[in-house]
Amino acid sequence: MEHDWNVEASFIRTLEPTRPTFPGMVFSAPEPALIGDNLRDVSVSELAARVKRTLEDAFGAVRVRGELGRVVIAKSGHVYFDLKDQDAIVSAIMWKGVASTLKFRPEEGLEVVCEGRVSTYPGRSQYQLIVERMEPAGAGALMALLDQRKKMLAAEGLFDPARKKKPPFMPQVIGVVTSPTGAVIRDILHRLRDRFPARVVLWPVLVQGERAASQIAAAIAGFNALPAGGAVPRPDVLIVARGGGSIEDLWAFNEENVVRAAAASLIPLISAVGHETDTTLIDFAADLRAPTPTAAAELAVPVRSDLLAQTQSLAARLLRAGGRRLDLARQRLAAQKLPTPEALLGLKTQRLDRAGDRLRAGLAANAARSQTRLARIGAALRPQSIAIAIARRGERLDFLAQRLDAGLVRLLDSKARFMRGQSQMLDSVSPMRVLARGYSMVFDQGQNLVRSASEIGPGQTLTLRFVDGTRQVVEAGGKPAPGKQKPPPPADPQGGLFDQN
């Protein structure tokens, strides 16, 4: 059957004006439906492009409510996530520019409402939701997320009161983490100036938006990393402050990294986020919570005028107490009725007078005894007495000299007799006496005394010692043994003493 091309083309032209139009979108009339082998071939890319245009035409603007799952923040800043309910799941993407405007951090399990358009990703043949706006599905969803995160951090002990530190009474340096352009820093400085001036070091950060949480956490860690005595003074106390706002505006102070940084701070930390009715998770991790930034400044330092008044009051109390102490001491002294100085010193004075009298008498008596003794000694020192004493000493010395001479003579005679007896005894056992009776002593070549005939070999040279000298002989049956002969032993050095010839 012949196909009516003109009718179909007319029908297509009639439908074109009724299609929704979008800026930059180009429509092309679909090819007439062909039958059988007359279908025109298309490429994969062309087919994917037609599907993409079809989805974008049909779902150019949608609003979807669902639960976040598998949230991935790429290094480029784009956010990839899944949007799901109990029956289905849709892949979604949020470009970096849109993600930077979020007032909260998308997390898995959070229920949200997304606005955007449906498109495809031809590289994987899947459709996805291009999100151009995202917001929590009511304040209840944020509160549920906040409560869940609070329970998790509390279970880790980050809110334990035992971990909290007491700020110093009078800090010298105060570190402030807040926006440098808001009214918060001005209120803090004004209150510190009125109460007790202190040095303030400001770490400027964003207090709202996607990058606020990371900057606040980095500021707390940066203050703690400052060395003591460095170019930038290390604070004695920290104040993390922000003005009031909605839960979305204050959400950066509910982020996990901020809460962990506050709990890990070694410097005492005071949180002052929002108004008195606002509560964020950093309030539970901080060492102190102030209802307002101004109240935080009041908690950080005392009132100088109050300290002066208290000091003056204590000084007055000290003076009054000292006066009362002296009065009580006077009263106790009066009650004890101490004796007068004259009564205390009278007895000692009397004893001193008696001792003085005895000292004078004792000195006179001692001088008299010394004079008597001197006179007696002087009488013994007359020249006649000295001469008699010298004569007596001379006679004594003569007697002792005579006894010494007689003793020496007797001692020398005794020693001479002893020496003669010893000489006779030594001479009686001298070998020279034996030689004088006709005997001789035989020595070998080594000048060793030969005591037995078995010690002599044939041809051995021997030395014979007689009373009047030595002779060398050779044993019969041999010739003199070669070798250097040792000299005969020397004569007995006492031979002359005992020799009677």
- Complete DSSP assignment for 95-143: -HHHHTT-SS---TT-EEEEEEEEEEETTTTEEEEEEEEEEESSHHHHH
Structure confidence at residue 5 (pLDDT): 36
**Above 80 in pLDDT, residue 319?**
yes
**Above 90 in pLDDT, residue 239?**
yes
Structure confidence at residue 197 (pLDDT): 84
Measure CA 344 to chain center.
65
Residue 70's pLDDT band (cuts 50, 70, 90): confident
Are residues 118 and 62 in contact, defined by beta-carbon separation less than 8 angstroms? yes
- Average pLDDT (85-107) is 85
Residue 425: Cβ-neighbour burial (10 angstroms; 0-12, 13-18, 19+): exposed
Structure confidence at residue 185 (pLDDT): 92
- Decide if 362 is inside a domain: no
The 8-class DSSP code of residue 422 comes to H
490: tokens are 């020397």
**Above 70 in pLDDT, residue 130?**
yes
Structure confidence at residue 272 (pLDDT): 92
Structure confidence at residue 423 (pLDDT): 85
- Decide if 261 is inside a domain: yes
Q: What SS3 class is residue 65?
A: strand
In this structure, are 41 and 78 located in the same domain? yes
List, for residues 171-218, the tens digit of each pLDDT value. Answer: 999 999 999 988 899 999 999 988 888 899 999 999 988 889 999 999
**Above 70 in pLDDT, residue 71?**
yes
Structure confidence at residue 6 (pLDDT): 36
In this structure, are 67 and 186 located in the same domain? no
Q: Which amino acid is at 334?
A: A
In this structure, are 187 and 282 located in the same domain? yes
- Decide if 82 is inside a domain: yes
HEC readout, 421-442: HHHHHHHHCCHHHHHHCCCCEE
In this structure, are 192 and 103 located in the same domain? no
**Above 70 in pLDDT, residue 26?**
no
In this structure, are 124 and 230 located in the same domain? no
List, for residues 39-50, the tens digit of each pLDDT value. Answer: 778 888 888 788
- Give strand pairing partners of 201: 175
List, for residues 463-500, the tens digit of each pLDDT value. Answer: 888 888 888 888 876 555 555 455 555 555 444 444 44
Count of domains in the chain?
4
List, for residues 441-450, the tens digit of each pLDDT value. Answer: 888 888 888 8
List, for residues 352-392, the tens digit of each pLDDT value. Answer: 888 888 888 888 889 888 888 888 887 767 777 778 878 88
Are residues 249 and 280 in contact, defined by beta-carbon separation less than 8 angstroms? no
List, for residues 270-295, the tens digit of each pLDDT value. Answer: 999 988 777 889 999 999 999 999 99
- Decide if 367 is inside a domain: no
Give the range among 159-173, 319-333, 483-497 with minimum mean pLDDT. 483-497
Structure confidence at residue 441 (pLDDT): 87
**Above 80 in pLDDT, residue 73?**
yes
Q: Which amino acid is at 58?
A: A
In this structure, are 296 and 313 located in the same domain? no
How far from 21 is each of 52, 62, 116, CA to CA, in Å? Answer: 15, 16, 16
In this structure, are 125 and 201 located in the same domain? no
Last residue of a domain, one of 351, 378, 411: 351
Structure confidence at residue 261 (pLDDT): 94
Last residue of a domain, one of 293, 328, 351: 351
pLDDT, the chain, mean? 81
- Decide if 462 is inside a domain: yes
Residues sharing a CB contact under 8 Å with residue 351, sequence separation 6 or more, in sequence order: none
Helix-helix angle 139-155:256-264, to 10 degrees: 30
- Average pLDDT (95-111) is 82
- Give strand pairing partners of 129: 92, 118
User: Whole domain around residue 328: which residue ranges?
Assistant: 309-351
Last residue of a domain, one of 243, 268, 302: 302
**Above 60 in pLDDT, residue 145?**
yes
- Decide if 44 is inside a domain: yes
Report which of residues 391 and 339 the model is more confident about: 391
In this structure, are 116 and 190 located in the same domain? no
Give the range among 20-34, 120-134, 388-402 with minimum mean pLDDT. 20-34
